[in-house]
Amino acid sequence: MNDQDCNAVVDSWLARFNQAIAGKSNETGVDDLAELFQADSYWRDALALSWRLQTVTGNQSICSALRDLMADVATFDLQLDVAATPPRVVTRAGTDAIEAFVQFQTNVAHCRGIVRLTPDAQQVDKWRAWTFFTAMDDLTGFEEQINRNRPTGESYSRDFRGPNWLDKRVSAGSYDSHDPDVLIVGGGHAGLSIAARLTQLGVDTLVVDKNKRIGDNWRNRYHALTLHNQVHVNHLPYMPFPPTWPTYVPKDMLALWFESYAAAMELNFWTDSEVTSAVYDSGRSRWNVDIRQADGNFRQLAPRHVVMATGVSGIPNVPHIETLAKFDGPAVHSSQYRDGEDWSGKNAIVLGCGNSGHDIAQDLHASGANVTMIQRGPSLVVNIEPSAQIPYMLYDENRSTAECDFITASMPMPLTKKAHRQFTKQARDTDRKLLDGLESIGFQLDFGEDDTGWQFKYLTRGGGYYFNVGCSNLLVDGKIGLVQFDQIDGFNSRGIEMKDGRQIDADVIILATGYKPQEHLVSTLFGDDVVSAIGPIWGYGDSLELRNMYCQTGQPGLWFIAGSFAQCRINSKYLALQIKAIEQGLLSL
């Protein structure tokens, strides 16, 4: 189908949609709105019409929800977004569809969306919506302070006798005379993303992090660490990485960028500061937060909102293994591991087969250690190129990062799962030689629930997979040893004793056993009552949206943001818009 035909189909659908929403029935009395959607269709809304992140499935449910919401939301006509890529035929989740970007306004916001149209099963010349995405872009009158909306006036005045920019920044960040509106706990990419978004919306925001320097959450990790997905997927909001950067960003490069980013984006940031407790005062709708600072003294702040940005990987998970205490050498969690050179010529055991376990085992081997890996359960393995990058193929197209992000956000979870099953099959076919080799040495493989691959492992459990950068090959070649946990009789003073009588000696044991769910940190800081009020954090459960992420929770004033760089870049916008709307009285807390 050529561009002209695509435009004609989209224009017709938009006209019919606008007419149906306006309540103008046709002469036959047929339900116009129901005629616009496929029987198996999806509508995802990101605040635009419902003030929620929600997915509605099926023709009848979508039409019912739209009718209910339209009674309270004054919408203007849906129009083609001429600033975006024109309508064209694309393939999403294995289905060919005309994809069109649209824009509209409500009584409070500028909004955008995407509609994907497919032919009616009975009438091929009639097109219906297969997916429909509506998203808030800006609050009317409270737009992001960027580009044409950048600050003017006082910030550009020449007051030679008054405080300059630096004086104002130091004063604003001290909070000596006022409390922030928002306190963000954690200064990694999640915390920086939401802080930048809120700052550009004019919301007074403070980030606190227990590390001594901004970026230490990456800087202090193991020596050889680099990102496992490519640079063009991992930008922070507003400031993309330089085009000169390598495809896979080293940890120290990223750490320095975090420091530069916080300064350039004028973020208020306290380092070496740890939140020790937080109690919500429902009468004042504020938190009482205790923060221990570098000098050991405490500050108490009373923000209206607390955003937990400590990530999926928060508190190290150190499993209880009864016999491990018998081991005479150090047994440390992977978060404490630094450099394989410390164990050159020594024997090392790595317990765990995720990304960290494999990377640490490879680093130890490269440093001259004799390494054995222990596998506790099946793991997903995918070569870092090209297979691990298949889900990001969209970002290789000739589109802006912002448009790729918008397309990513528009896809409902069931279709994203379907797409990832296809990606996983493609990766398995591509990596067949490696996977066969791993199975030949007894390595236990899996490919995620319903074969949905590594990304849904991350979205449901935060790990359980490895992007192969060489460790799998070392395992297949016998250069790194492999044993299964159920083959072990127990640990002893020298290492591990196998059920078959073999002894595997160790000078160090690295526990690459992942991290505890966020509920553990919430319990520590806020108490069990808050955990009960909120429920599970992360993963899907019975919902089509991540649980308690980027949205209001069962505890007023408590929010969560976590995930990959792309997830945080995308969803920080929607989280910030909700907080700004509450601050302006447009949304109740």
CA distance 60 to 37: 9
Judge whether 192 and 239 are in contact, CB under 8 Å.
no
Query: What integer is the mean pLDDT of 186-214?
Result: 97
Token readout for 33 is 């709105």
| CATH code assigned to 172-314+517-583 | 3.50.50.60
> Average model confidence (pLDDT) for the chain?
93
What is the domain partition of the chain in residue ranges?
3-139, 172-314+517-583, 322-511
What residues contact 410, with CB distance under 8 A and at least 6 apart? 44, 113, 114, 131, 133, 135
- Whether the per-residue pLDDT at 566 is higher than 90: the answer is yes
Per residue, the 3-state secondary structure of 422-464, as one string, reads HHHHHHHHHCHHHHHHHHHCCCCECCCHHHCHHHHHHHHHCCC
Main-chain phi, psi angles of 307, to 5 degrees = -110, 120
Per residue, the 3-state secondary structure of 499-520, as one string, reads CCCCEEECCEEEECCCECCHHH
Whose structure tokens read 């302006």?
584
At residue 28, the pLDDT reads 42
For residue 399, what pLDDT band results from cuts at 50, 70 and 90? Answer: very high
Which residues on neighbouring strands pair with residue 185, listed in sequence order?
A: 208, 308
β-pairing, 508-511 with 558-560? unpaired
Give me the percent of the chain exceeding a pLDDT of 90: 83
Instruction: Give the SS3 label for residue 290.
Output: strand
Judge whether 356 and 433 are in contact, CB under 8 Å.
no
For residue 412, what pLDDT band results from cuts at 50, 70 and 90? Answer: very high
Overall pTM > 0.75: yes
Judge whether 413 and 544 are in contact, CB under 8 Å.
yes
Cis, peptide link before residue 386, omega less than 30° from 0: yes
Q: Is 252 exposed, middle or buried (0-12, 13-18, 19+ CB in 10 A)?
A: middle
Query: What integer is the mean pLDDT of 510-519?
Result: 92
Same CATH topology for 172-314+517-583 and 322-511: the answer is yes
218: part of which helix (H) or strand (E)? helix 216-219
- Whether the per-residue pLDDT at 313 is higher than 80: the answer is no
Judge whether 347 and 495 are in contact, CB under 8 Å.
yes
User: Which fold does the domain 3-139 belong to in CATH?
Assistant: Nuclear Transport Factor 2; Chain: A, (3.10.450)
Token readout for 579 is 């907080």
DSSP 265: T
Query: What integer is the mean pLDDT of 218-224?
Result: 89
pLDDT tens per residue, range 67-119: 888 777 666 689 999 999 999 999 999 999 999 999 999 999 999 999 999 99
At residue 155, the pLDDT reads 53
Query: What integer is the mean pLDDT of 537-566?
Result: 94
At residue 3, the pLDDT reads 84
We find that the CATH architecture of domain 322-511 is: 3-Layer(bba) Sandwich (3.50)
CA distance 544 to 248: 31
Which residues on neighbouring strands pair with residue 116, listed in sequence order?
A: 99, 131
Instruction: Give the SS3 label for residue 94.
Output: coil
pLDDT tens per residue, range 261-282: 999 999 999 999 999 999 999 9
For residue 160, what pLDDT band results from cuts at 50, 70 and 90? Answer: confident
Which residues on neighbouring strands pair with residue 515, listed in sequence order?
A: 316
Instruction: Give the SS3 label for residue 376.
Output: coil
β-pairing, 347-351 with 558-560? unpaired
At residue 30, the pLDDT reads 44
Which residues on neighbouring strands pair with residue 127, listed in sequence order?
A: 119
